[in-house]
Chain A
């Protein structure tokens, strides 16, 4: 394994273990969670293009900042709605998730009878290792988000430069 990614993973695991030892509604929890969010914001500013890139197969001069079709992933913009259905099940799942979360949050009754996603994760947080794992997943998802929106992702993938640490 290359040293860059290894250091990143070790650092992420160590940070998660430390963050998981904090208690919500305390300064250490605020600081450690806030630092990760600030780091995410900085990386987004540094690594993401100011305007969304053109992902159309022809890389035409059509502006990409306002066209949703042109900002689709490779292979989707050119074929329009032909491949849009690939995303539909995920959208439906998100709708069901949000609807069920809102129902449980708003319905009359105890939280035990109507658990929200938050209350389930609160139960998870009683176990240090599970909380650390959840924090790791959260950090990793941030790294994936940064990588997927990065302006350098496509060229780097093609060049496969050794020693790169991008996700």
Chain B
């Protein structure tokens, strides 16, 4: 397996893990927070809300403008 392939496989595994956690959060909500709950926790935290908004702006600018 080449380095490139391995890199993409790991990226894919991270993506699958995210989707898996997402699905699991609906099956076992008492054990795992929904993504929306995670966002809400950050959005209602004094520091987390700042990080969240700045992160949103940076991500958009980085992906679509620069």
B1 close to chain A: CB less than 8 A: no
Asked whether, in the complex, the Cβ of A149 is within 8 Å of the Cβ of B40, the reply is yes
Asked whether, in the complex, the Cβ of B60 is within 8 Å of the Cβ of A112, the reply is no
How many residues does chain A have at the interface if contact means C-beta atoms less than 8 Å apart?
Answer: 54
A135 and B59 CA atoms in complex are apart in Å by: 11
- Output the residue of A19, A29, A73, A87 with the most chain B CB within 10 A: A73
Min CB–CB distance B17 → chain A (angstroms): 6
Q: Could you tell me the dominant secondary structure of chain A's interface residues? A: helix
A-B Cβ contacts below 8 A, count: 125
Min CB–CB distance A129 → chain B (angstroms): 15
Asked whether, in the complex, the Cβ of A148 is within 8 Å of the Cβ of B40, the reply is yes
A118 cross-chain contacts in B, Cβ below 8 A: 62-63
A126 cross-chain contacts in B, Cβ below 8 A: none
Min CB–CB distance B18 → chain A (angstroms): 6
- Output the residue of B17, B37, B41, B44 with the most chain A CB within 10 A: B44
A159 and B35 CA atoms in complex are apart in Å by: 24
A93 close to chain B: CB less than 8 A: yes
A134 close to chain B: CB less than 8 A: yes
Residues of B in contact with A (beta carbons under 8 Å apart): 2-4, 7-8, 10-11, 14, 17-18, 21, 30-33, 35-41, 43-46, 49, 52-53, 56-57, 59-66
